[in-house]
Amino acid sequence: MLNTKTLRKAGKKLTRAEAAAGQAFGPYRDTPLVKLLSSIGKVGDQPELRGLSAVVVAVGLLTSNRRLVRAGVRMILAHELATLAKDIVKRRIDRTRPRSAKAHAQRKLKPGAHTAKEKTSFPSGHSAGAVAVARAFSREYPDYQAPALASAGVVAAAQIPKLAHYPTDVGAGMLLGTASELAADFVMRAGERLEAAITPEARPRLRLRA
């Protein structure tokens, strides 16, 4: 069985490995390729993901496409849950971002209440939001699941070479995004069951095409 001492040693080795990865990427931070990845990674920002989700809903409404509206609503709900989840974690765990960390102690995960951006590396909000939105869209359009998740993966991976996050930050963010989308799906299904229970007379007059 793994004991506390073993886990601490493993955690220390992992932190050192992440520090080495950051040092390896450091010299290439200002290269065109990393700048391109950085630009791609910005797609995972909250305003961009909210805007994308809102556009999907708007297009669905304008075309009377109920399926597209559902997809957009799912995306918004999953994103907001992912944002809430990562904020809760960030308010309880301190970790200096790789671009600012100068010592091993700064790279470690530790309890804390910092709110400064450079002190709240864990978890990656971009990764959480991108994965949550991609999975939410895939619920309604499973044929596009592979490209949607691949796009989210690129957004998440882009956080590492630009030294915004450690690999474990990204992994934790992706897990949070997955869990948040599952929660959003539960809420959506509960809403659909409630809608089905309402009598036709009580439903809105607007009928959207499935």
**Strands 110-111 and 93-94, how do they pair?**
antiparallel
Task: Report the pLDDT value the prediction gives residue 99, as an integer from 0 to 100.
Answer: 87
Ranges 47-51, 90-94, 191-195: which has the least confidence: 191-195
pLDDT: is 114 or 201 the higher one? 114
E strands, 75-192, are 93-94, 110-111
Q: How far is CA 162 from CA 26, 83, 167, 173, 192, in A?
A: 8, 21, 12, 16, 42
Task: Report the pLDDT value the prediction gives residue 206, as an integer from 0 to 100.
Answer: 46
- Is the pLDDT score of 114 beyond 60? yes
Q: Rg (Cα) of the chain, in Å, rounded?
A: 20
Q: pTM (2 decimals)?
A: 0.84
- Is the pLDDT score of 8 beyond 90? no
Nearest to 16 by CA among 79, 75, 104: 104
Q: Please name the residue that has the structure tokens 């948040």.
A: 180
